[in-house]
Amino acid sequence: MNNRFATVASVILAASLVSGCGSVGRLKNVGKAPKMSEAEDPVAPRLEPSIGNHSVDDRALAAGGQQADAARGASLFRTGGGAFFRDQRASRVGDIVTIRINIADNAQVANSTTRTRNGSENSGIAALLGLETVIPKILPGNPDPSKLVSTDSKSSATGVGNTTRSEQINMTVAATVIGVLPNGNLQIRGKQEVRVNYELRELVVTGVIRPEDIARDNSIKHSQIAEARISYGGRGQLTDAQQARWGQQIYDALFPF
């Protein structure tokens, strides 16, 4: 018993120390706005292909791009220039596509279960080749052989469950194409951070889209993103106020009853 109590106390002490480190970090940020994360390097190919001379593009990709820059110096279709006849919707690594997130989910599930079971058993031996006369001599209390066993059982169970959920998110975020799959589908990733006073809101979107699903205005709905991962959260004073204190969290995790 003492060893078990010592183990539990050690776990509580270790958890308190770890949580205390987090509290020290929070104390350092008192009166300060949450820091925004560093912007990641944009994903883009080194050269923009020119529709004026594709052979130059191919040689430039092999030679490092210096020849292409020199060859396009006097060309209308220079590096980075927009093409006149190419579809302006996202299709290559580094292109940007607009993600329109309109989530309005409502779900309600109600379950009710009732179970009742009754059982009764009566058995005895009225006559068994004369052996019924021996039973009263063996069993105490002078039992009646015709009523040797009598059992009654009853069980009942009632279960009720009700789940109601309602979510609504309306946001727009720009995502970057970070990869092109062999079948032509595009891997995208977008991140947006907005800080207002002392609260930082963060939106992260990742997934796979089809180029055919991109609309004319270079946008796509969140429902057309495969393997979609949409994270919307925040950091700051309001978020901290909505979280239980670390001591209460430890208590809820360790208390067995």
**Where is average pLDDT lowest: 1-5, 101-105, 134-138?**
1-5
State how far the Cα of 116 lies from the Cα of 25, in Å rounded to an integer. Answer: 56
Q: What is the mean pLDDT of residues 31-38?
A: 71
Q: Which of 47, 35, 175, 151 is nearest to 99 (CA)?
A: 175
State how far the Cα of 14 lies from the Cα of 98, in Å rounded to an integer. Answer: 46
Domain boundaries, the chain: 112-163
Rounded to the nearest 5°, which phi and psi values hold at 51?
-75, -5
Say if residue 70's pLDDT is above 50.
no
For residue 75, what pLDDT is reported?
53
Say if residue 150's pLDDT is above 70.
yes
Q: What is the mean pLDDT of residues 139-150?
A: 71
State how far the Cα of 148 lies from the Cα of 124, in Å rounded to an integer. Answer: 5
Q: What is the pLDDT of residues 222-241, one digit of tens each?
A: 999 999 999 888 888 777 77
State how far the Cα of 73 lies from the Cα of 76, in Å rounded to an integer. Answer: 9
Say if residue 117's pLDDT is above 60.
yes
The order of strands in the sheet holding 219-221 is 219-221, 96-123, 149-180, 186-196, 199-209, 226-236
Say if residue 61's pLDDT is above 70.
no
Q: Which of 209, 138, 220 is nearest to 174 (CA)?
A: 220
Q: What is the pLDDT of residues 161-216, one digit of tens each?
A: 888 888 888 889 999 999 999 999 999 999 998 888 888 889 999 999 999 999 99
Say if residue 72's pLDDT is above 50.
no
Q: Which two tokens stand for residue 28?
A: 């350092």
pTM of the model: 0.55
User: Which value, in Å, is the radius of gyration of the alpha carbons in the chain?
Assistant: 36
Bigger pLDDT: 30 vs 162: 162
Inter-residue contact 225 to 99 (CB < 8 Å): yes
- Please report the DSSP string for 39-88 in residue order: PPPPP--SSPPPSS-HHHHHHHHHHTSHHHHHHTTT-SS-TTPPPSSS--
Say if residue 249's pLDDT is above 60.
yes
Inter-residue contact 113 to 159 (CB < 8 Å): yes
Say if residue 69's pLDDT is above 50.
no
